[in-house]
A = this chain, B = another copy of it.
Amino acid sequence: MPIKSILNAESVAIVGASKDPTKRGFQTIQSLIDEKYEGRIYPVNPKEKKILGFPCYKKISDIEGPIDIALIALPARLVPAILDECGQKGINGAVILAVGFGETNAQGKALEEKTLAIAQKNNIRLIGPNTSGMMNIHSGLNLVGLRDTPKGSIGLLSQSGNMALTLITEARLKSLKGFSYYIGVGNEADIKFHEYLTFLKNDPKTNVILIYVEGMREGRKFLQQAYQTSIKKPIVLLKSGRSEIGQRSAGSHTGALAGMSEVARTAFQRAGIIVIEKSDQLFPAAETLACLPTLKKNQVAILADGGGHATIGADILTELSIDVPELSEKTQNKLKTILPQAASVSNPIDIAGGADADPTVFADCAEILLKDKNISGLLVVGLFGGYGIRFSESLGLMEEDAAHRMGKLVKKTKKPIVVHSLYGSEKSHPLHLLRYYNIPVYDSLDVAAKCIGVLWEYENYHNSYHVKTNFVLNPGAKRKPEAIEIINKAKNEGRSVLLEHEAKRLLALHGAPVTRDLLAKTAGEAVLFSKNLNGGMALKIVSPDILHKSDARGVKVSLRTEKEIRKAYSEIIKNAKAFKPDADIRGILVSPMADEGTEVIIGTKIDDQFGPVIMFGIGGIMVEILKDVAFRVLPISYNAAKKMIQEIRSYPILKGTRGKRPGDERALRRLLLTCSDIIESYEEIREMDLNPVIVHEKGISIVDARIIL
């Protein structure tokens, strides 16, 4: 049964209906009545005859008509049996409220698996368990028991019932916007985030999607769907559980990797999602995107009555990378004609009391500013909406006039206006009018500034949208028979790690520039091999029992003479045996020393939520101490490789600085793409570490490589 039919159910059975007003089995029926749900309502409770005027059924099978969906308001242990009853009745959708499933312990997890199996057997799609429920706001199908959810076009997906309650309450109290659907995704036992997203993408009543998430079951599928959705409708998302304690609280077991939230943030942004970090900006960002046209260019004017708000506004926008460009002389002159002498007509504009006698000057200024070709949007900050409250009714009427004009101005120019007003939470008719015209109003300057910022972020994503960034892995695409042999050999030997020369060979098979190494079995071979190579040599132990070669003193570098090589060979063997007497020594790898250049590190891992990811950073201090690294979910495009390299803080080192020539970025990008190909091709590979890789002025050398299966 498609999710669409569940979310638009025309008949609902309330299993566990109750006469006790504190119970969900009562509250839900009450709210279906309150919200004027036009579908059929069937309470089920063996002990009751009638609840809130509806006849009550002893069993689901007693219900005569067809039923689209069951709300199961019973304890966890009773759920599997009820689902069997639902199946027998032909019900294809169920909302399971109960806690006590996978979020608790192994027993709960088993119960969840059993529940899912029974649902699948019966062709029932499940919302939850561990959810506050689901609401179709427009049809009145309210299975949450929360009253007065405002209607609108924001589709809400939340992993937390109280965050949903917060967002809905915030909308009701502070906004004229509302919701199309609310879905508490709960444990995602059956229907996953990305499936809801697919539905909302195609739903005509939804134009913005708002998501609160702690951790996902199917992160990669979510990215794939988000990427297809965000190009059509904005997705605004807050991910909590960023801190270790937050993760502990979220009950997420995905947080082992440090920098995990950085992986998520980058991945979400690449999928076109507007990622919000502050919970009080979450609803406002969605509201603004639901209300206003985007900012066509990164150019915002600030209009203030008072220098303080102007200055703070400019600070915040700058910190958000939103430009507050200087105005043209023509625009400045126009402003001068209507503003007092004390006003500042350079952006940010301070009207300096210029509205004290007539607040319509706000609309005059807005018209002048939005007519300027170099201004794409307007942030009004400070006092608008309060002149009538503070001074006199007549000023309030003028504010209303200004509100009407600004509202129409947005429509006409298709340029957005966002308003900060310190009277934002007061009953102010001019502010009510602004909201009526889809101009959002906030009483926090930080929030208002962020909101105009997201209008540029969404537009900017469209500008940089790449069809190739689709998060779809093509497993096995470029597998090489010899590489598979190498992997199988390791497996057959019971190894989960490829030896250095094996790893390098695998890389070389995909065209990666590894050093031309040779595996010597004797000191004599090492000397012979070194004659075939130029410059200094490095000797490295090769043993499945010694993974950290330096720890076993198994590496010697910058060897030039035959004597040095022989000495190094015997020392390495000695050290290795001292380190692990019974070590299986396969030989010693003879490598030419790489030319000079910048040391970088490339690594891949399997992220619990998103699958394969790649990491890049500049070697040594930058990675180890400053944690200056970039992450991407694989596969990556050439463009993503480019951005990854350029977004680390220490990028200027690679670009060339202090007399050093620039490194070969093109070769580095190619190597990142090769790594992406390799990880795509061999699902066997769990981790790959190229460390160090030397980026030369021309070309690049992989000096050491490790591959973990």
A159: Cβ under 8 A from any B Cβ: yes
Interface flags, A567-593, vs B, CB<8A=1, else 0? 000000000000000000000000000
Chain B neighbourhood of A22, CB < 8 A = 356-357, 391
A162: Cβ under 8 A from any B Cβ: yes
Quick one: closest B residue to A344, CB to CB?
B249
* A246-B318, A350-B249 as given contacts; A422 in contact with B160, CB under 8 Å: no
- Which of B306, B422, B444 makes the CB contact (< 8 A) with A161? B306
Inter-subunit contact B160/A308 (CB<8 Å): yes
Q: Which of A212, A620, A625, A658 has most B Cβ within 10 Å?
A: A625
Inter-subunit contact B306/A240 (CB<8 Å): no
Chain B neighbourhood of A173, CB < 8 A = 425-426
Interface flags, A377-405, vs B, CB<8A=1, else 0? 00000110010001110000000000000
- Which of B392, B426, B657 makes the CB contact (< 8 A) with A624? B657
Chain B neighbourhood of A160, CB < 8 A = 306-309, 311
Inter-subunit contact A169/B422 (CB<8 Å): yes
Inter-subunit contact B162/A315 (CB<8 Å): no
Expressed in whole angstroms, the minimum distance between the Cβ of A313 and any Cβ of chain B is 8
Interface positions, chain A 579-638, Cβ under 8 Å from B, are 620-621, 624-626
Cα distance, A357 to B310, chains bound together (Å)? 48
Interface positions, chain A 227-256, Cβ under 8 Å from B, are 238, 240-246, 248-251
Cα distance, A161 to B344, chains bound together (Å)? 15
Chain B neighbourhood of A188, CB < 8 A = none
Chain B neighbourhood of A357, CB < 8 A = 22
Cα distance, A136 to B310, chains bound together (Å)? 27
A319: Cβ under 8 A from any B Cβ: yes
Quick one: closest B residue to A132, CB to CB?
B306
Cα distance, A307 to B161, chains bound together (Å)? 8
Inter-subunit contact B165/A422 (CB<8 Å): yes
Cα distance, A621 to B621, chains bound together (Å)? 11
A166: Cβ under 8 A from any B Cβ: yes
Chain B neighbourhood of A85, CB < 8 A = none
Expressed in whole angstroms, the minimum distance between the Cβ of A695 and any Cβ of chain B is 15
A81: Cβ under 8 A from any B Cβ: no
Chain B neighbourhood of A425, CB < 8 A = 173-174, 425
Q: How many residues of A contact B (CB 8 A)?
A: 86
Stretch from A197-205, A493-501, A647-655 that touches the partner = A647-655
Quick one: closest B residue to A238, CB to CB?
B312
Chain B neighbourhood of A650, CB < 8 A = 621, 625-626
* A22-B391, A315-B241 as given contacts; A308 in contact with B158, CB under 8 Å: yes
Cα distance, A173 to B158, chains bound together (Å)? 31
Chain B neighbourhood of A382, CB < 8 A = 162, 166
Expressed in whole angstroms, the minimum distance between the Cβ of A297 and any Cβ of chain B is 17
Expressed in whole angstroms, the minimum distance between the Cβ of A543 and any Cβ of chain B is 23
Quick one: closest B residue to A307, CB to CB?
B160
A373: Cβ under 8 A from any B Cβ: no
A305: Cβ under 8 A from any B Cβ: yes
Inter-subunit contact B170/A240 (CB<8 Å): no
Inter-subunit contact B306/A446 (CB<8 Å): no
- Which of B159, B249, B308, B312 makes the CB contact (< 8 A) with A310? B249
- Which of B165, B243, B423, B621 makes the CB contact (< 8 A) with A169? B423
Quick one: closest B residue to A250, CB to CB?
B311
A285: Cβ under 8 A from any B Cβ: no
A280: Cβ under 8 A from any B Cβ: yes
A290: Cβ under 8 A from any B Cβ: no
Inter-subunit contact B311/A241 (CB<8 Å): yes
Cα distance, A146 to B307, chains bound together (Å)? 18
A224: Cβ under 8 A from any B Cβ: no
A547: Cβ under 8 A from any B Cβ: no
Expressed in whole angstroms, the minimum distance between the Cβ of A239 and any Cβ of chain B is 9
Q: List 23 A-B contacts (CB under 8 A).
A: A22-B391, A99-B352, A160-B307, A162-B306, A162-B308, A162-B382, A166-B308, A173-B425, A240-B312, A242-B319, A245-B324, A245-B347, A245-B348, A246-B314, A246-B315, A249-B307, A249-B310, A251-B307, A278-B446, A621-B653, A621-B657, A625-B657, A626-B626
Q: In the complex, given contacts A245-B317, A246-B311, A279-B445, what are 14 additional A-B residue pairs having Cβ atoms less than 8 angstroms apart?
A: A160-B309, A162-B308, A162-B309, A162-B382, A166-B382, A240-B308, A240-B315, A243-B314, A243-B315, A245-B318, A251-B307, A621-B657, A625-B649, A625-B653
Q: List chain A positions with a Cβ less than 8 A from chain B.
A: 21-22, 99-100, 104, 146-147, 158-163, 165-166, 169-170, 173-174, 212, 214, 238, 240-246, 248-251, 278-280, 304-312, 314-315, 317-319, 324, 341-342, 344, 346-348, 350, 352, 356-357, 382-383, 386, 390-392, 422-423, 425-426, 444-447, 620-621, 624-626, 649-650, 652-653, 657-658
